[in-house]
Structure 1
């Protein structure tokens, strides 16, 4: 079982927590997600997918900032879940995060949960 404590990188501005959520796993991203947080997010993603999870939710609700690094991470997570035939969803972030998905039209590609 992977470590479910928050994984952090050198900046205190971003954390990611990975934990079971029923039969699926939830990655909860907090703070500012840019290139500095990518390694921690990828570690958490691969740890969750290494478990016997039946699906994955990437939770953006606690992000205050996300750039194209975060968008690529979400698309990578979606692709990995699709390849493993596991359901995938994203929990929406705040207005700035939602706007990023709208501007890039990824809001029509990524499945969001309520």
Structure 2
């Protein structure tokens, strides 16, 4: 799955280290009221897929903007993953995005990892 519309690119990749691990969902650009729905659909598609493995790692290393709709979309993705018995975590947010997520309290709900590799390792180990 690869999508590029507007200012957000979304791509899903198998986790480093082989099958059975989480899917890495890479986000690049802006997560806002124009693009949030696409992220929601991408997460829903992954959760229905047998490829989801041990969950979803949202790689935010290339995300440079997130508004309140983007925050809501991330919370909804986490809630949907939990409802299906899957995991959802955030990896490699830029300092600005990490600060935004902390200011909104998402660090109290989601697990943040400094790198995709750390997130994948954490989800693999359960």
Give the TM-score category using the shorter length.
0.7 to 0.9
SS of the aligned residue for 2:58 comes to strand
Q: Which TM-score applies when normalising by structure 1?
A: 0.85
1:16 to 10, 24, 35: 10
Normalized per residue, the structure richer in helix is 2
1:17, 1:27 within 8 Å by CA — same for their partners in 2? Answer: yes
Moved over 2 A (4+): none
Question: C-alpha distance in 2, partners of 1:19/1:73?
Answer: 20
Map Cα deviations across residues 2-45 of structure 1 (whole Å, 9 max, x no partner): xx2x2122x2x211112222422121110111111123212211
Q: Which TM-score applies when normalising by structure 2?
A: 0.77
Unmatched 5+ stretches in structure 1: none
Aligned CA RMSD, in angstroms, stands at 1.4
Unmatched 5+ stretches in structure 2: 115-126
Map Cα deviations across residues 31-83 of structure 1 (whole Å, 9 max, x no partner): 11111112321221111111112311111111111111111111111111111
1:34, 1:69 within 8 Å by CA — same for their partners in 2? Answer: yes
